[in-house]
Structure formats: structure tokens, C-alpha cells
Amino acid sequence: MKDNCNNNSDLIRYLKNGDTNAYAYLVDTYNHKLCLYANSLMNDIPASEDIVQNVFIKVWERRDNLKTNFSIKSYLYKSVYNACINEYKRNQSVTALEKKYIEELGRIVEDKDEDALEKLIGLVREAIQELPPKCKEVFLLSKKEGLTNIEIAEYLNISKNTIERHINIAFSKIRENVGNKTDIILFLLFGFRQNLRAE
């Protein structure tokens, strides 16, 4: 079955015919990758696993509607992405800025291959890890913990100007890796768990 399912059209044809072996192959092939992808969006492993499971269930329930001329892989990734965004909107009060970022994330998924978002997230995480220790600490306190510059200055017992300088350095380093998608990916990494706070 594995060899027969390597071809996208054949796999979809088997699924449409109700072949449970083809469905098992689909789940075995993509479940782990999709869970990692969903968790990169949600940062919540149980919720990510539930989303992926529901996507697979819907694929099976709606298998008659599958078209043999589209990529099942792209379809799965886009379905998981849409489910994550819907879950976020359901649990959060979405601001105008967040709505703008969510729409831009949708365009990234639409316009590029399904791994593009994952690659951008990886580049941002890599850039954060490579920051000087104090700069990294300040940046994560700001973006991950949601502290204001004044709160960070009091916590670390350093000046507000020093905090601002560290954050500016961090943004510059990250933009070297990601370019104009920096703000969007940072929102994805940190804003999906807490609203962005003004400094």
C-alpha cells in the first residue's frame, strides 16, 4: 500500500473509494508533522493534537469531495492552519492589529509552500537564540512575558534606555534573518498567547 500511496492522485483515489489502509497511510505519514506545525502556531500540545485529529476525521468524512488534481499535503496543512486561526479567534478578543497579522499569515500560507511559515518561525527562533545573553533576556521578558520596558528596567535594575537599546538590537538581528515578516512571526510566536502590550 505504501508504494501505491506515494502518488498523490492514487492516494486520493483510494481515499475516495473508502480504503482504510490509504487513510492509515495518510495519518501515519502526516500526523507527527502536522502536530509539530499546529504546535508552532498554538504552543499548546494537547490542543494541537486535537486540531490535527479533527482535520483527519473531516478528511475521511468528506473524502467524496476530494479532488485528484490538488495536493493532499497542502490541503492538510491549510486545514490545520485554518483550524488554529479559528481556535485563536474563538478564545481571544482580536484587535485590529492582530486581525491584520492573521490575514497576512493567511497570505503566507496561500502564496508559498506549506513549509514556508515553519521556516520563518525557525529563522526567528534561531535569531533569538543567537542574541547576546542580556539582550535575549530583555527581549523575551518583553515579548514572551509581556512586561513593559519600565517593568523590565525595575526587574533587572538597569535603565529604561538600556532596555530600549537591547530590544532595538534584538529586532535588528531578527530582521536580518526574516526581513519584513519579523513583526508577523513575532506576533505568531508570542501574540497568540497574550495580547501585544504597549511599551
Q: What's the CATH number where 150 sits?
A: 1.10.10.10
| Mean local confidence (pLDDT), 139-147 | 86
**Contacts (Cβ under 8 Å, ≥6 apart) of 169:** 131, 132, 135
Of 49, 58, 48, the closest CA to residue 23 belongs to: 58
| 130 and 174 inside one domain | yes
Q: Are residues 81 and 117 in the same domain?
A: no
- Give the confidence band of 91 by pLDDT, cuts at 50, 70, 90: low
* Average pLDDT for the chain: 81
- pLDDT above 90: residue 27: yes
Looking at the structure, tell me whether residues 21 and 80 fall in a common domain.
yes
Burial of residue 196 (number of CB atoms within 10 Å: 0-12, 13-18, 19+): middle
Residue with cell 476525521: 57
CA distance 73 to 11: 11
pTM score of the predicted model:
0.58
Residue whose grid cell is 486540531 = 51
Distance CA(120)–CA(189), nearest Å, equals 11
Q: Which domain holds residue 159?
A: 112-192
Domain count, the chain: 2
**pLDDT category of residue 199 using cuts at 50, 70 and 90:** very low
Q: Tell me whether residue 101 is in a domain.
A: no
Q: Is 18 among the domain residues?
A: yes
31 and 69 share one domain: yes
Q: Does 105 fall in a domain?
A: no
